Chain A
Amino acid sequence: MTLAPPPPAPTASAVVPPAARQLRATARIAAVADPYGVSRLPVLDGDGPLALRRLRSHDAAARVCVVGAMSAPVGGDHLRIEATAGERSDLRITAAAATIALPGHHPGTARYDVALDVADGARLDWLPEPLISAAGSDLIQTTTVDLAPTARLVLREEQVLGRTGEATGRLAARLTVRRAGRVLLDQETAYGPGVPGWDSSAVLAGHRAVGQLLVVDPAFEEQPVPVRTLAASDGPGQAVITPLAGPAALVTAVAPDALAVRRLLEAAAIPTGW
């Protein structure tokens, strides 16, 4: 963890500028398969608020939990997680709790970047808890995934606009998935104050939680998932399961709250051969 830029030398009259409290942190995870096919974690480096815990595994997969040890990201922070699954390895990443974007003591957009790289024959699960945009916060989130031709991926993203009974902050997110050198999925969302039309009937129509579940598997090349629409069984909220223009299935869900979105994503039950 580094504080950037470095704080200036204190003088009797100087006030520490807001920039000095901005956080820069990069956590790194790398999995490799050993000769017996068991996945190991040669790199497991937490940083600042991004603490990493190795979880007990009952099979050959390596399991990591991201533990939010501090309240972050707040205004101006720049957090980054890099995870790499080496050839034929199996890496499952979860989180201990939701991430809450909060307003900082100083203005400025916070950034939260996730970069995932999956090699041939490997599988990576990226299953964090929801990202909650608190009133007054301003966050740009990017998720960039690079997949080798035979890599597999399970990725979930959930965004919650405001805590209970609260207005949302500003949240812009971009998810880019490249596979074998081609872009498989490129999606941007932008919600909150100053974003025209974000709460319109074409985009969210009053829903306050959005979720996506993406499964990439070369097996979908032969047998793509059929299109299916889902409605929440116990209230408003809807979802659709669709095949992408490539070997992947995507679930898109909107609902009034995080719990309803999670239920829709779980009800989608995308068939995988693994």
Chain B
Amino acid sequence: MSRAALLVLADGRFPAGGHAHSGGAEPAVAAGRIRDGGSLEEFCRGRLHTAGLVAAGLAAAAAAGCDPLALDEAADARTPVPALRTTARRLGRQMMRAARATWPSPELDALAAARPRGAHQPVVLGLAARSAGLGPEDAAYAVAYETVSGPATAAVRLLSLDPFDATAVLARLAPDMDAVVAEAVAAAARVPQDGTGALPARSAPLLDITAEQHAAWPVRLFAS
């Protein structure tokens, strides 16, 4: 296995379309809930321990070789709002295209054939990590990092926040990312025996509500 493959997968320049999404930061900025570095950190911590934990668990399980279609169904059950299901599948389709070009594998081909309109992005990311020879912990780290780096990057553009401040926020969240990854990997390890019900299902009511409010905006900078 090549550890450097994790840097390729987690790189913000990996062409999987994530830059067009704010991870809920755009409506939070509009509502005045993200105003500066401190409030950005608070938002990111909440997103990381809810949506981030769920996504990291799904990715870890996919990287460990669990049935991706069962994981895709588990992702649907954990995503009650259609705006976020649509976003996850759109990002999954783009991740699939990039992953098949980067680390081709029969498992990626099979999932792409079974879900032509896109599987949930964390499931595709986990399978891409597996195709790259990476493990569940690597996949969970890539997801945890992207859960907070997405809103942080978006906040820089939306608020003209100092990029140094945004990066400092990410660094301060490192211990939280470690904790989320550990919980996600431990849960994923129970899936072969206990099924997908072993995976985290932590919800964030406001992320769900504001995702649908945002999807109805006539003009917006980010797709989600």
Contact = CB atoms under 8 A, between A and B. Distances in A.
B77 A204 contact: no
A28 interface: no
A132 B24 CA distance: 29
Given A174-B201, A176-B197, A240-B81, A201 B46 contact: yes
Contacts of B209: 229, 238-240, 252, 254
Given A189-B202, A210-B205, A238-B209, A203 B80 contact: no
Interface in A124-155: none
Interface string B49-66: 111000000000000000
Interface residues of B, number: 44
Contacts of B24: 202
Contacts, number: 122
A187 interface: yes
B203 to A, nearest CB: 5
A189 B205 CA distance: 9
B85 A245 contact: yes
A51 interface: no
B204 interface: yes
A243 interface: yes
Contact of A202 (B179, B206, B216): B206
Given A174-B201, A227-B83, A205 B206 contact: yes
Contacts of A240: 81, 208-209, 212-213
B190 interface: no
Given A201-B33, A240-B81, A242-B80, A188 B203 contact: yes
Given A229-B213, A254-B209, A203 B74 contact: no
Interface of B is mostly: helix
A200 B82 contact: no
B203 A189 contact: yes
Interface residues of A, number: 37
Contacts of B224: none
Given A186-B197, A187-B201, A239-B209, A229 B216 contact: yes
B146 interface: no
A228 B151 CA distance: 25
A201 B205 contact: no
B207 interface: yes
B212 A229 contact: yes
A166 B33 CA distance: 24
Given A187-B78, A205-B206, A240-B212, 16 more contacts: A174-B201, A176-B197, A186-B77, A196-B49, A198-B49, A201-B28, A202-B24, A202-B42, A202-B44, A204-B205, A227-B83, A229-B216, A238-B209, A240-B213, A245-B76, A253-B205
Interface of B: 24, 28, 33-34, 39, 42-51, 73-74, 76-83, 85, 176, 179, 196-197, 200-209, 212-213, 215-216
